Amino acid sequence: MLSTLHLTILLAGIVTFLLRWLPVMQHSVPRRNLPGSVRQLLAAIGPAALAALLTISLFPMLFDSPFAPQDWNIYVALLTIILCKNFFGGIAIPTVLGTFFYGISTYFINGF
């Protein structure tokens, strides 16, 4: 009999597989007529995954860190990402520039 842990792992694996497989299948079939809502859903998977990973990575830094008031480098990076996203659109340029400014601000603020 499967325990709750096994079922959770199985479900997470299936969902992860589908999130990677569905966009590939959508682009591999030539000129498939999908409803607009399905195309929008498939197009949003990449940015949603990136936002989820960023949130999971930064959330402990923002609130659980004993140095939270001094960690302005995180806020600089997030502000850079938001401004670049609004100015350039897409996700590649905001991500790269956010990472760059996080590193630069860490160097100057924390003295690394």
The dihedral formed by the CA atoms of 20, 44, 104 and 73, expressed in degrees to the nearest 10: -110
Mean pLDDT of the chain: 76
pLDDT single digits (tens) 3-50 = 888 888 888 888 888 877 777 776 666 656 767 777 777 777 777 777
Residues near 100 by beta carbon (within 8 Å), at least 6 away in sequence? none
Q: What's the whole-model pTM score?
A: 0.45
pLDDT category at 111 given cuts 50, 70, 90 is low
In whole angstroms, how far apart are CA 3 and each of 6, 8, 10, 17, 83?
5, 9, 11, 21, 46
Q: Give the max Cα distance, the chain.
A: 56
Structural domain spans, the chain:
1-33, 46-110
